[in-house]
Structure 1
Amino acid sequence: MLNSTDQAAAQENLPEAGDEDVPPVLRNAPSSVEFKKLRKRLLRQARQAMDDFAMVGPQRADGKLPKWLVCLSGGKDSYSLLAILIELKWRGLLPVDLLACNLDQAQPGFPAHILPEWFETNGIEHLIIREDTYSIVTDKIPAHRTYCSLCSRLRRGILYRVAREQGCEAIVLGHHREDILETFFMNLFHGGRLASMPPKLVNDEGDLLVLRPLAYSAESDIAKFAQGMQFPIIPCNLCGSQDGLQREEVKRMLQGWEKETPGRLGVMARALGHTRPSHLLDRSLYDFVNLRPGDASGAASEGAEEPCGAGLAMTRNLFAAE
């Protein structure tokens, strides 16, 4: 990849709408200052996530570029993901080949023409795979239960197969910051574990990567971007048709926190990257058994604990008032 100076230069000037030199998907992008700032922010965050988690591996010995299978559902997140990756590749910041893929799950009323037409209009290399997972899910899961788990497993298995057939080293998903936080709280509240969606993982078979380049991006930014780009959004009528899902409850909780204290979700997301095993309860991650007074490491001592930011702010305010 380019060095940081070259990357910054490549991203500094966004092309104007209608510029014939840019990929077709970018030609109708709004030219307002506000939208350009949003677009730069999403590009920067995606590139940062890819750098932080080494999503692009070393150059191949045969000189060929790695290939990514970019999964599109027809929702705002996956449209935005593909557009961002296309722009990064166009700018020379993403040395990979991209293959867009939509899995048509045979949901009744699904507008199967929308994505193929959009791909063709924008000259995007793509595959449309049709597999009737809808009938399997609705047959196996009672109507009052959540479909998401089985639906996700079936979908993931099909995408792994397609990725192998197409010679891809990774499947790329459009999960964003809020998806990661929601999963963390779902595991905390209902799974009894501290875990979330990692930006990068290897599948169980060990032959494919799963990547989430939008891990640092806020859902609200992605929604504004998708609206500005006028993507033809296709709603999901499977999971989206069920009320009272636990994930929806967590989503509302997080949205409420962000509304009450703007910026809180960003702080929470950063916390996922700053864990301290010595201050948790997992004995498999930290050797509490052999921890004794005078331990040179002092990793779990009270003095090693960082001061509370809220406490420091309160102290400053108290002294300022005197």
Structure 2
Amino acid sequence: MSSSPATIPVFDGHNDVLLRMRRAGQADPVQGFLDGEATGHIDLPRSRAGHLAGGLCAIFVPPPSMRPDANGDFLAPAQADALNETMAMTRLLFELEARSQGAVTVCRSAAAIRAAMNAGSFAAVFHIEGLEMVGADLDALYLLHQAGLRTLGPVWSRPNIFAYGVPFRFGSTPDIGPGLTEAGRALVRACNDLKIMIDLSHMNEQGFWDIARLSQAPLVASHSNVHSLCPHSRNLTDRQLDAIRDSGGLVGINFGVLFLRDDGARNGDTPLSKIVDHVAYVADRIGIQHVALGSDFDGTTVPKELGDAAGLPRLIEALRQRGFDDAALAAIGHGNWLDVLELTWGD
């Protein structure tokens, strides 16, 4: 994975391209991804143009309604409905691999990610965001792991049987709601046994600390930012950042403008310097080895200056202008993700 200053490969901690494909209404969304599209943030041609070498490809089942209830919570889908949608998006992921002629590889180990990147194949990791498709018996978890599931977030921003997802609130700490349920504690133990990475993005603060006490793996927030810079409930407090450092974990910086700005505005004119600010804060506080990228491409509003995956070299250059050298850029761009996945998965 050698790289020149202009071509730092990026392995990204979070995208929602599978959901976008599922909802696109196209006759053949897989071919649309492979050939290139006019909508969204990620497809194969734009990934190649931006040196996006791979990432965690999330399966997320939206709530039945995008209107929260009286408590500000989104409703969770029924387990059967969530499982059906999960199967449909999983099929899209593996169909992408099958039809790509080697251009997309579904990876189950850090070694496989490195090999795919070296071969110029998009290294996709099967990730689930919000585990509504799994019951308290965890039967579906074991089947999904056999199918290739290697990372998961127990919750999205809604309660489920495992934990309480933090609601979207600006001007709020993440300390909203209770922690893990008994089923959630069993889930953490099972993930440790199976070497599935537990993603803390969307977890409320009580759940975060419950997992920190229980899990034997590094603490990872795949697409979260700094609460001190943007007081959004989805962002991490300094104390949480310190715990991630102490566990040998990682923060993937989210490109979503809602989680970057100190005013909480959904404003696409947000400069790339705001992403750089969050990267620099984490690097300065807990060490450069604990910060990476977690774009949230196809799941949120990103700065217009970035645009989509093809714009990633502009972000790399903005980081360079802030003083990050080639070694630091390689670590932030992909090396730190590969290291923490290797440590978590034990390969």
TM-score (norm 2): 0.29
The structure having more radius of gyration, on CA atoms, is 1
- Counting helix residues as a fraction of each chain, which structure ranks higher? 1
TM-score (norm 1): 0.31
